[in-house]
Amino acid sequence: MAWLPPLTVLNATNLRGLVTAFYGFSSCVSLADITDEHGQEHQVYIKAFPKAGDFLVGEVLLWGLSKLRDLECPDQAWLMVIPATMLKSLYREVDWLKEWGEEVPCFVTSSLIADAPPQTCSAPVETEELRKWSQLDEAIALVEWLANADANLGNLVRLPWPGGVTYGLIDGGCCLGLSESNPRLDEPHLDKLRPTRAGEAIYNKLADAVYGVPLASKEAISVMNAAKAHERLLKDADEFLTKELSRILGDASLVLVVMRLLRERASLSWLTRNTHAQYGSFSLSLTA
Residues 201, 90: contact at Cβ < 8 Å? no
d(C-alpha 279, C-alpha 268), whole Å: 9
Higher pLDDT, 196 or 276: 196
d(C-alpha 45, C-alpha 68), whole Å: 21
pLDDT at site 127: 87
Share of the chain above pLDDT 70, in %: 85
Q: What is the pTM of this model?
A: 0.91
Q: Which long-range contacts (CB under 8 A, 24 or more apart) does 211-219 make?
A: 211/140, 213/281, 213/282, 213/283, 214/282, 214/283, 214/284, 214/285, 215/279, 215/282, 215/283, 215/284, 215/285, 216/285, 217/284, 217/285, 217/286, 217/287, 217/288, 219/137
pLDDT at site 112: 80
Cis before residue 214, ω within 30 degrees of 0? yes
pLDDT at site 216: 84
Instruction: Mention every residue, 6+ apart, whose C-beta is less than 8 A from residue 137.
Output: 219, 222, 223, 225, 226
Instruction: Please state whether 81 falls in left (phi above 0), alpha (psi between -120 and 50) or beta.
Output: beta
CA angle 35, 37, 42 (to 5 degrees): 30
pLDDT at site 249: 97
pLDDT at site 274: 27
- Of 41-55, 111-125, 132-146, 233-247, the one with minimum mean pLDDT is 111-125
* 197 φ, ψ (degrees, to nearest 5): -115, 40
Higher pLDDT, 276 or 142: 142
Q: How confident is the model at residue 130 (pLDDT cuts 50, 70, 90)?
A: very high
12: DSSP letter: G
pLDDT digits (tens, 9 = 90+) for 147-156: 999 999 989 9
Residues 28, 91: contact at Cβ < 8 Å? yes
Looking at every residue in the chain, the average pLDDT score rounds to: 86
Calculate mean pLDDT across residues 185-214: 83
pLDDT at site 285: 41
Higher pLDDT, 187 or 24: 187
pLDDT digits (tens, 9 = 90+) for 158-199: 888 787 888 999 999 999 999 989 999 999 999 988 877 654
d(C-alpha 157, C-alpha 165), whole Å: 10
Calculate mean pLDDT across residues 34-56: 95
Nearest partner of 73 among 148, 2, 164, 170, judged by Cα: 170
Instruction: Give 159: exposed, middle or buried? Use CB within 10 Å, 0-12, 13-18, 19+.
Output: middle
Count other Cβ atoms within 10 Å, centred on residue 24. Answer: 16
Instruction: Give 120: exposed, middle or buried? Use CB within 10 Å, 0-12, 13-18, 19+.
Output: exposed
pLDDT digits (tens, 9 = 90+) for 62-120: 999 999 999 999 999 999 999 999 999 889 999 999 999 999 999 999 988 654 444 44
